[in-house]
Amino acid sequence: MGGFGAAGACALSGAARAAGRRRAVPPPDRVPLAMELSGKTVLITGATGGIGQALARAFAARGAQLVLTGRRIDVLEPLAESLPGGARTLAVDLAASDEVDRLIADAGDVDVLVANAGLPASGQIDSFSVEEIDRALDVNLRSPIVLARALAPAMAARGGGHIVLMSSLNGKAAPAGTALYSATKFGLRGFGMALRADWRERGVGVSTIFPGFIREAGMFHDAGAKLPPGVGTRTPVEVAEATVRAVEHDKGEVDVAPLALRGGTLFSQVLPDVAASVTRRLGGGKVASDVAAGQRDKR
Ligand SMILES: NC(=O)c1ccc[n+]([C@@H]2O[C@H](COP(=O)([O-])OP(=O)(O)OC[C@H]3O[C@@H](n4cnc5c(N)ncnc54)[C@H](OP(=O)(O)O)[C@@H]3O)[C@@H](O)[C@H]2O)c1
């Protein structure tokens, strides 16, 4: 796909030169699908989790009408009651395709989908059963794709909407011990990038969010693993605020991590083997195995 893009650009610029014309590179579109959230219906998956609860509070604070999902109804109900304006709750297991269909049918008109639910899926691939692999793919990748497929046309028919995909910096760089998780998060990145190009003219924006290590709550915090000194973190509130801004200003991709971690991720994209070797020397292997051990109960 990248080859096609580069080859296409070369062919076009060659043709322009041959025609003796100079073409300025068009600037990227500026805030084409900005959205005011007050009164909009926002469906948030994984609302019971560390980041999901912060997302619910952030969208509620903008005056959105919320539909919250997760499996744990005992967490969903009190969360909904604590929000200004309340929220509808739907208990759904996103690993079950008939329950994803039921969510689509029961959610009603949705203006913004925040596909946030996810399983950590960390650890060596041969430590997973095939059933656990299927569950990670279903929750992390299949369910956002199926929800987007169902909701985007309805959003477009009503004049516009927005889809948010909660990826991870593991959707840009894949360190040791994250093969399955990274596969799902890289998948979301590719899906989001192309979906954004496909739907912008029909009024549906797409944002992909890439959090780094998140402290205070959520799957990294719950694992109880320690990071090497100097590796910075962000909070669920910062992820939620970045997500709200991404919808309001139609941002395509947003990293939520300190500068050094974002720089390391970029380095890993350019020189993956060198980055992997540096990460090993800095003790990345121990962090990865500690995280996987702490997240095993979430498979
Ligand atoms: N925390 C981090 O450091 C971090 C960093 C980068 C990216 N992320 C991403 O951020 C998102 C939220 O993560 P988090 O940290 O908030 O994790 P979390 O606290 O473990 O929450 C995960 C959420 O996903 C839901 N979920 C899991 N399996 C489900 C299933 N089968 N059906 C329906 N819902 C299911 C959980 O709901 P129930 O348990 O109620 O079913 C929960 O609401 C994930 O996509 C994650 O990959 C997190």
Instruction: State the Cα–Cα distance between residues 89 and 173, nearest whole angstrom.
Output: 34
Give strand pairing partners of 166. Answer: 209
Residues with C-beta less than 6 Å from any ligand 1 atom? 46-52, 70-72, 92-95, 116-119, 139, 166, 168, 211, 213-214, 218-220, 298
- Closest-CA residue, ligand 1 atom 45, reads 118
Q: d(Cα 23, Cα 25) in Å, to the nearest integer? A: 6
pLDDT at 182 over 50: yes
Selection from 31, 76, 100 nearest residue 245 by Cα: 31
Residue of 185, 40, 43, 172 lying closest to 100 (CA atoms): 43
The tokens of 189 are what? 């990145």
Phi, psi (rounded to 5 degrees) for 236:
-60, -35
Query: Are 161 and 204 within 8 A, CB to CB?
Result: yes
Report the C-alpha gap between 56 and 66 in whole angstroms. 7
- Residue 15 reports pLDDT greater than 80: no
Residues near 28 by Cβ (< 8 Å), separated by ≥ 6? none
Name the residue of 122, 219, 262 to mutate for ligand 1: max ligand atoms within 8 A of Cβ.
219
Full set of structural domains in the chain with CATH: 31-298 (3.40.50.720)
Query: What integer is the mean pLDDT of 84-106?
Result: 97
Q: Which amino acid makes up residue 134?
A: D
Residue type present at position 191 = F
Residue at token pair 């929000």: 83
**Res 18 pLDDT > 90:** no
pLDDT at position 283, please?
A: 84
pLDDT digits (tens, 9 = 90+) for 19-56: 455 667 766 655 568 899 999 999 999 999 999 999 99
Q: What amino acid positions are annotated as catalytic residues?
A: 181
- Mutation probe of ligand 1 site: the residue of 43, 44, 45, 51 with most atoms within 8 A of C-beta: 51
Residue 4 has a pLDDT of 39
Rounded (10°) CA dihedral 277, 278, 280, 286: -160
Asked whether residue 147 carries a pLDDT value surpassing 90, the answer given is: yes
DSSP element (H, E) containing 236: helix 236-248
Ligand 1 centre and the CA of 211: distance in Å? 12
Name the band, by pLDDT with cuts 50, 70 and 90, for residue 12.
very low
pLDDT band at residue 266 using 50, 70 and 90 as cut-offs: very high
Mean pLDDT of the region 78-84: 97
pLDDT, mean over the chain: 91
Report whether pLDDT(172) > 80.
yes
Structure tokens at 159: 């004049």
pTM of the predicted model as reported, rounded to 2 decimal places: 0.91
User: Atom 34, ligand 1: which residue's CA is nearest?
Assistant: 70
Report whether pLDDT(71) > 90: yes
Distance from residue 261's CA to the centre of ligand 1 (Å): 21
Locate 97 and state its tokens: 């395709």
pLDDT of amino acid 29: 59
How many Å lie between the centroid of ligand 1 and the Cα of residue 119?
A: 6
What percentage of the chain carries pLDDT values higher than 70? 90
Of 132, 229, 212, 134, residue with least CA distance to 166 = 212
Query: Model confidence over 103-117: pLDDT tens digits?
Result: 999 999 999 999 999
* Higher-scoring residue by pLDDT: 286, 197: 197
